Structure 1
Amino acid sequence: MTMTADVWLPIPAEEIEGLPEGFNYRFWDGAPGGGDDGGDGSRDYPADPRDCVFYVVPYMRPASVKIEPMLAMPAVRVVQTLTAGVDDVLGTVSRLPAGVQLCNARGVHEASTAELALTLTLASLRGIPGFVRAQQTGTWQSGFRPALADKSVLIVGYGAIGSAVEDRLVPFECARVARVARSARDTERGPVHPISALPHLLPEADVVILTTPLTPETRGLVNAGFLASMKDGALLVNVARGAVVDTKALLAEVENGRISAALDVTDPEPLPPGHPLWNAPGVLISPHVGGPTSAFLPRAKRLVVAQLNRFAAGEPLDNVVLTTG
């Protein structure tokens, strides 16, 4: 890049080492503006959005905040998310001028999300929520619980996060790990089956872990038919997106006790007070915390630095999900 242009960052530029020269770095994390905003919660932009050529989307903000300035960015060339999924900005990016690249945060969230997938799996199988409740009443509750060892695990969505989940399953002595993705392929660990194979794989799985992105094809993928194909006593773990699962169909299965579930994401989200999922039997819920850990910030900074240096040098970017046009 030879011109002077703006880059919007949700992390202050002075806290990121290795950023290329030649850009005006503008800090904007989507937080409500203060000062003279009249108390209406409006946001103060750091500069004119029309001058932004590279927009790093604020992290852990509502979709409405993330997309708020985008349509006022006619010069933008890159929209870089700090999330693995891009479903909340995809519709707006598609309305931008031709040639805009949308990039996701592959490489940032694999470790922490895979950790949580294993945490939820182990906590559900070993009955940790019940132990916590018993501790609060001073009750000693012993007895046998299922182990992950010797279980058959099915990973639905075998991308970077799904692969990271399998990395962490290796020492747990699972009987089998099966993998499903949009299309079939071979890996060093074994075959990846297409989604069409789910009816044959689901009845064999003790644990089903969802790591698929939310797309038109995966929205509602885990419907009544999917859940009915799961074996009695199986565990569904969702660290993907809430809308991958049909909540009404899931409630029907967990309320009759046939299966259990561990959910880091829900539909709706945030899950409102009083929603039946909160108190559904056999359901463990965490509040979408797969990504926000101590592992996030250093990996996010490395991604932003690498992408901006490629952009400045006119080199191809990584993690390109789509290019408008």
Structure 2
Amino acid sequence: MRKVLTGVTVAAFAVGVAVTGGAGVASASVPHDHDIQTVRVSGDAQGTHFSTTTLHEGAIRFDISTTNPNGTGVTLFSLHRGVSLSMLGADLAEEFSGSPDTAAKGTRDIQRDVTLYGLADVNPGTPVSATVSLEDGTYYSFDSNSGQLPSTANVTRLTVRESRGGDSRWRPRPGHRIASVALTSSDRFVVHGHLPAHGSVLVKNVSDTLHFMLLQPVQPGTTDAQVQAFLASGSSDQPPFAVDGPSVSTDVLSPGKKLVLSYSLPKGTYVLLCFVADDTTGMPHAVMGMHKVITIG
């Protein structure tokens, strides 16, 4: 759902950013004491394709890749009681409107109607893995980069069955720590540890609103002040600090949800960004200061 929620501002960051090959999915040694379930998700111009749609509750790793030149956004969500796919489509139409007041209402309505579990947006040559813990129930996924609103024609239904094998929730291996990024109510990224170029990061939405995390390459020496000045300008030009290279992104997470994102990227300087519309002002979170320049390696 990231592309649906970003609007025009994030498009400026994508201008001139080439998709390069050679990056593979990093191996994520995240759960322990049980074999993690793995689902292969492939995207193309027709949508997304899942290797299986019947799972059991616990930690599930989604290995995501695409051949679509425009990229694929794999959004995982559950509908709240009484909510239909058409109602969610209406919420997204509000979110993507050009009116800040309407976009703010869209953020509030999406949060009211669905729970979002993230997963990821990918480009050709830069696959990722997203690991989430799911309880038994019914879930849905659609390609948020397709330009279409979710409907019965383009949504994949996933059934997660109750597990009888004990506690299979995600947890780090004993003695194994990975970096984490908290998405906060003050619309900021709080980084704990050093993000790897090849590895995994725990992304946690600890806020009271929707967030996602885009990891975008920038020139060495880029500062958050430069990023803020560009965003505040409202320019749709390519940022002067932009760098050609692959990027990775989670999809949107509801408050209290988390995932482990595993990826492989070139070492260097990147900026973390979130463009969800603020639920009061409708302003993209990044314009309100939700960006952080980091070095990965």
Q: TM-score range by the shorter chain?
A: under 0.3
More strand as a share of residues = 2
Q: Could you say which structure has the greater relative contact order, defined with CA pairs below 8 angstroms and 6 or more residues apart? A: 2
Looking at secondary structure, tell me which structure has more helix per residue. 1
